[in-house]
Amino acid sequence: MDETRVAGDSDSNSEEGQGITGTLIWYYYICRREVWLMSRQIVADQQDENMDWGRFLHEYAYSREKKEVAWETVKMDTLTNRQGELVVAEVKKSSSYVKSATMQLLFYLYRLKASGIDARGELRFPEERRKEPIELNEELEAELKEAIRQIKQIIAQETPPAPAKIKFCGKCAYREFCWA
């Protein structure tokens, strides 16, 4: 295992993900350049139609449930108690980004676990009318810890990673920033 340390790293489980957000985890699995841009508060095009649609879904999907529960650097879409079991849900417009959505949700479960709170996760895709259960296990936790370590390294860089054309660029709200 790589023993490289980044400023702010800790062996303590409760401090491992400090300063990292679920959004950074999400973007790490899509585009590392976006991680750097977001860490610098460089705002994506807020008029982008994909961002508008995401805001609409967030506002109106699952409207009977408690929305956007914020805690430390964690901002969960919904949080419910089902028969004594805590369920954290992440709502996404499509399953096209299922890996990044899964890792974002696992980050929330990981942070809750580090604070002694047991929960399970659920990815929700309202347009596809489907839900996918997500549970944190040792293998996924190890992958998440590595992602956190790499995100910290990306954030510590003075300049952003070079843009790289990927399949998501066409729908990205940062496309003008990278390709103009």
Does residue 71 form part of some domain?
yes
Does residue 2 form part of some domain?
no
Q: What is the pLDDT of residues 99-136, one digit of tens each?
A: 999 999 999 999 999 999 999 999 999 889 999 999 99
Q: The domain containing residue 89 runs over which residues?
A: 13-179
Cα–Cα distance measured from residue 130 to residue 140, given in angstroms and rounded to the nearest whole number: 22
Q: How many domains does the chain have?
A: 1
pTM confidence score: 0.78
Task: Give the E-state strand segments of 57-103 in sequence order.
Answer: 67-71, 74-82, 85-91
Does residue 3 form part of some domain?
no
Those residues whose C-beta lies under 8 Å from the C-beta of residue 22, and which sit 6 or more positions away, are 73, 74, 75, 76, 90, 104, 105, 107, 108
Residue 158 belongs to domain with CATH number:
3.90.320.10
Q: What is the pLDDT of residues 50-109, one digit of tens each?
A: 554 555 555 655 555 556 788 888 888 888 888 889 999 998 888 888 999 999 999 999
